[in-house]
Structure 1
Amino acid sequence: MIGKNPTTIPRRQLGRQLREMRQAAGLSIADAARLIERGAGTLQRLEKGENPRIRLLDIEALCRLYGVGRDKLGALQALAKEADERMRPVDERVWWHRYDDLIPDDFETYMSLEAAAAQVIMYQPDVVPGVVQTPDYARALERTFFKSDTPMESEQRVQVRMQRQTAITRRLSPVELDLLVDEAVVRRIAGSQKVMAAQLRKLADVPPNVRVRVLPFAGGFPLGCAPGAFVILRFPMDFGTKEPVEPTTVYVESYGSRLYYDSAEVVDRYLEAHDQLSQVALSEPDSKHLLRQVAKEFES
């Protein structure tokens, strides 16, 4: 049985923000540690999210050293206080802060990881993932699930999904997306046949950094079971340490929960599952052909 939700993600995100602030200030770890009268090893562990205990006085001293404002200090202190619990990273600068009332705390954690990732590997057996949805497809899902929403709230939820897509469309360092979808995703109607046709054409015309493949019904059950949807997030390398800025993380979302795993054993298990699913998936050209073919069927 896979273990409990890890507690390292908030610490890693706190460490990443502190590291970015130090680098922006032009200081080495040794210099920053000396100036706040702490050991270089202590600061290095803090930046890597490996400190089991985080001193708020250290956070205050670092923020003062780096010249950041009170708002940022308060956000980092709040994150530090909750670093041993599942919680969202607090950063006033991110775009999704405008939608705090609509986004669950634990999903803000996912959006932060997705935006920071170098590669996102997804398997989705039921629905087109939000990061590649059309507005009309997203509306069809949101209006059904959030029946009590006002029209304005419903539209804001759609905007959140559309804004997430900038991670794969941005000009500088777009996220690489490797997407496996089951054939059920292609044929199950959300909204209307017209909505589905547009959605499938979008999947067939993705940018070069996005790879879409379809797992056909004829592929059966490559794992001998239905694994459910999952996401594997890989992060860019730190040029100083030559290591990823954060460990590869698996995100698993079900109807009632969101779980994050970063242990090597669990990550390897999901990578192996993805490899097995990939072996029976259609090639990219064949997948695009199927997407366009089914889009034509919906249009007719």
Structure 2
Amino acid sequence: MANFLREARGKRSSAEAAAVAGFSKATLSRVERGETTISPGDARLLLSHYGVPGTVIESFAELAYAAKQPGWWQRYKSALPDWFSLFVGVETAAREIHTYEPELVPGILQTPEYSRALMDKDLKVPDVEHEILEAVSLRQRRQEKLTGDEAAEFRAVINESALHRLIGGPDTHREQLEYLLAMGSRDNIKIKVLPFTSGAHAASYGAFVLLDYTVVDTDYALAYVEYAGGAVYLEARDEISLYRHMFENLWQDAATADETEDLIKTAIRGLR
């Protein structure tokens, strides 16, 4: 949504566009960076001004409406920065999720104890007990997207380094790796480890998540890249194509399912 709005604006000034919608340049900038949502009415005003076809405008307005609806994740406000709320909403709607993690087990696959150990070191999480517990609880609730009635098809490539980075002590780490094996046995979940022996790979820039979802019978895709102070949401066709290509390269270079299971079991044995 954000990139579409930015591209539709074209060479028009942000001041001109903001005036049409009746809000500040700063607000328009946040909308175009994916840091805040836009109302269906404002979306219609802007896209009409940009000369976008009516059918596209209505589809986009429906998407904006869906993004504004309160979701289950809103109860975790103290653990949910504005820039992450959009991701959780899209993840909840996703039919397919592809992710690469170089250092850690992906958040949506983490056990409570593993998550807690990470939160204790996360500078973005306030050092307040109830907020830490909310952040851990949020990650656990997100797992329903993989185990519920409308479970997404999920593929993950995890760098071998994540198997050996001891998080929370041997017992916590062992439990996490055993949980990874259990989740990987589900029909909708496929996990591969990218072994050290694979050498150079396509995602040396870091972690990312690629989400495919449908709103009002229209298909969308979003690439999510997190950094220390927030996240970048990518929606342009060439950006999505790049991340799809990157993920498929990783998937091809990663260990097979049987080899992945052996690598995880070997890491577990190393903890005994």
Q: Quick one: structure 1 residues 11 and 107, their matched pair in 2 at CA, closer, same or farther if it must change by over 3 Å?
A: closer
The root-mean-square deviation of aligned C-alpha atoms, in Å, is 3.1
Residue 47, structure 1, aligned to residue 58, structure 2: yes
Corresponding position: 1:109 with 2:86: yes
Aligned residue for 1:234, secondary structure, equals: strand
Amino acid at match of 1:214: V
| Pairwise CA distance, 1:114 | 0.4
Q: 1:141 to 1:294 in 2, by over 3 A?
A: same
Greater strand content: 2
**Cα 1:97–1:238 shift into 2, 3 Å:** closer
Matching of residues 22-171 of structure 1 within 5 Å: 42=54, 44-49=55-60, 89-92=67-70, 94-146=71-123, 148-171=126-149
- Which 5+ residue runs of structure 1 have no aligned equivalent? 16-40, 52-58, 60-75, 81-87
Match in the other structure for 1:188: 165
Within-5 A mapping of 1:270-289 = 270-289=243-262
Task: Supply the distance in 2 between the matched residues of 1:141 and 1:167 (Cα, whole angstroms).
Answer: 22
Q: What displacement does 1:145 show?
A: 1.6
Greater relative contact order: 1 or 2 (C-alpha under 8 angstroms, separation 6 or more)? Answer: 2
The answer (yes or no) to whether the contact 1:122–1:229 under 8 Å persists in 2 is yes
Following TM superposition, by how much is the alpha carbon of 1:102 offset from its aligned partner in structure 2, in angstroms? 2.1
Contact kept in structure 2, 1:219 and 1:281, CA below 8 Å: yes
Report the AA paired with residue 209 of structure 1.
N
Kept after mapping to 1: 8 A contact 2:212/2:221: yes
Matched with 2:211 is 233
Measured in 2, the distance between the counterparts of 1:293 and 1:13 equals 49
After superposition, the C-alpha distances for 1:17-37 in whole angstroms (9 at most, x for unaligned) are xxxxxxxxxxxxxxxxxxxxx
Unaligned runs of 5+ in 2: 7-31, 41-52
Match of 1:28 in 2: none
AA of the residue aligned to 2:112: P
Q: Secondary structure at the match of 2:78?
A: coil
The 3-state SS of whatever aligns with 2:98 is: strand
The answer to whether the 8 A contact 2:126-2:132 is kept is: no
Tell me the secondary structure at the aligned position of residue 121 of structure 2. Answer: helix
Question: Could you tell me the percent identity over the aligned residues?
Answer: 26
Determine the C-alpha separation between the residues in 1 that align with 2:4 and 2:237.
14
> Structure 2 vs 1, CA of residues 254 and 8 (structure 1 numbering), >3 Å: closer, same or farther?
closer
Q: Distance in 1 between matches of 2:39 and 2:126?
A: 35
Q: How much does 1:97 deviate?
A: 1.0
Taking the aligned partners of 1:118 and 1:209, their CA distance within structure 2 comes to: 11
Q: Specify whether residues 120 and 5 from structure 1 end up closer, same or farther in structure 2 by C-alpha distance, changes over 3 A only.
A: farther
Q: Any conservation in 2 of the 1:14–1:47 contact (CA below 8 Å)? A: no
TM-score normalised by structure 2 residue count: 0.76
Distance 1:106 1:148, change over 3 A: closer
| 1:235/1:148 CA distance change after superposition, 3 Å | closer
User: Would the aligned equivalents of 2:97 and 2:209 in 1 still touch at CA under 8 Å?
Assistant: yes
- Counterpart of 1:204 (choices 161, 172, 181) is 181
Q: Is the 8 A contact 1:113 1:233 kept in 2?
A: yes
The C-alpha deviation readout for 1:182-206, integer Å capped at 9, x for no partner, is 0011110111011111111111111
Structure 1's 160 and 11: CA in aligned 2 closer, same or farther, altered over 3 A?
closer
Q: Is the 8 A contact 1:122 1:178 kept in 2?
A: yes
Could you tell me how far 1:100 is from its partner in structure 2?
1.3
User: Residue 45 of structure 1 aligns to which amino acid in structure 2?
Assistant: V
